Amino acid sequence: MQRSVTAQITGTLTAPTDVVLAIAVADGPARTETLGVTVDGVSVQGTEIAAPHGGRLHLFSGLLPGAFAVDYVATVDGIADIEPPTDVDRIVYTRPSRYCDSDKLMPVAQAEFAGLTGKELLDSVSSWVGSQLSYVSGSSKPIDGAVDTYLSRQGVCRDYAHLVIALLRGLGVPARLAAVYAPGLDPMDFHAVAEAYVDGAWWVVDATTLAPRPSLLRIATGRDAADTAFLSTLTGSLQLDSIVVGATVDQLPTDDLTLLTALR
């Protein structure tokens, strides 16, 4: 499998700013890539920082005010090995987190999915979230968590993933969020899916069903969107102007929803 991805981001820095990008594909299969960042057309250099689960952050410190632009291109050949779970992961990803307030949704999870385990549980949670929510671009706020999504019954991919994760954690199932490139996604953008630990491995749960799971390409992984944002500022101010994402695969696979699928 060969997957090609691109990301172009433009914005305006209005103060000296430290910017963190999480747009580079995670470590895994062989890749070729370029990442260029400019301020007022002048190239600036960043520092690559290793993140959990093969993630790769890029920190650009002390950027001066001006026009900010990012251009990322990567081609990835092959698929990644399935990541072995660790005891720490199984603890961290069962706890409530900023956007996955599973403690508040535990009664809902127990009422809706009592007695279900393994693949049957993942299928039921995915189907329930997919049927209960409406995918509406711009319907959620950046600070909305799983409870907000449950109450509003609408959102975008990160909201679907947060609700899936919170419900699974409410049943004691470790679950986490993965930011991905998604060949076949329409409209194209950065995408977010849940991963759940059952039957000895991490499996993708995407209640939106908007892109085939076998072609998804990992970028960043964490407790929720707070750990996986494609861009964040540590200090200063950045106003985003445009984001254009591309993701293709040499042969778009079908997605058999009756099968468990790992993010590779």
- Each residue's pLDDT tens digit, 95-118: 999 999 999 999 999 999 999 999
pLDDT at 83: 87
Give the pLDDT score at 181. 98
Condensed to tens digits (0 to 9), the pLDDT of residues 153-207 reads: 999 999 999 999 999 999 999 999 999 999 999 999 999 999 999 999 999 999 9
Which CATH fold would you assign to the domain 2-79+230-248? Answer: Immunoglobulin-like (2.60.40)
Contact 246, 2 (CB under 8 A): no
Average pLDDT of the residues in 64-87: 95
Q: What is the mean pLDDT of the chain?
A: 96
pLDDT category of residue 211 using cuts at 50, 70 and 90: very high
Q: How confident is the model at residue 139 (pLDDT cuts 50, 70, 90)?
A: confident
How far is the C-alpha of 24 from the C-alpha of 72, rounded, in Å?
A: 7
Q: What are the residues whose beta carbons fall under 8 Å from the beta carbon of 198, sequence distance 6 or more?
A: 117, 118, 119, 121, 122, 173
Determine the pLDDT at residue 85: 86
Phi-psi group of 62: left, alpha or beta (phi > 0 → left; psi -120 to 50 → alpha; rest → beta):
left
Please state which CATH number belongs to domain 87-227. Answer: 3.10.620.30
Return the pLDDT at 26. 97
Confidence of residue 119 (pLDDT cuts 50, 70, 90): very high
Work out the number of other CB atoms within 10 angstroms of the CB of residue 132.
15
- pTM across the whole model: 0.95
Model pLDDT for residues 83-100, shown as the tens digit of each residue: 888 999 999 999 999 999
Average pLDDT over residues 131-142: 92
pLDDT of residue 217: 98
> Structural domain boundaries of the chain?
2-79+230-248, 87-227
Q: For residues 247 and 185, what is the distance between their CA atoms, to the nearest angstrom?
A: 8
Confidence bin at 65 (pLDDT 50/70/90): very high
The stretch 242-262 carries a mean pLDDT of 96
The reported pLDDT for the residue numbered 135 is 96
Q: What percent of the chain has pLDDT over 70?
A: 100
Q: Which whole-number Å values give the CA distances from 26 to 128, 161, 220, 221, in the listed order?
A: 30, 19, 7, 9
Sole residue written with tokens 């890029």? 58
Rounded average pLDDT over 58-74: 98
Partners of residue 60 on adjacent β-strands: 19
Measuring CA to CA, how many Å separate 47 from each of 37, 56, 58, 218, 244?
Answer: 12, 10, 5, 20, 23
Average pLDDT over residues 214-239: 97
Average the pLDDT over each of 52-61, 77-86, 114-123 and give the range with the smallest value.
77-86
Measure the CA–CA gap between 135 and 154, rounded to whole angstroms.
6
**H or E element in which residue 152 lies:** helix 146-152
> pLDDT tier at 214 (50, 70, 90 boundaries)?
very high
N-to-C CA span, the chain: 10
CA distances from 250 to 77, 149, 210, 247, 261 (A): 10, 35, 18, 10, 19
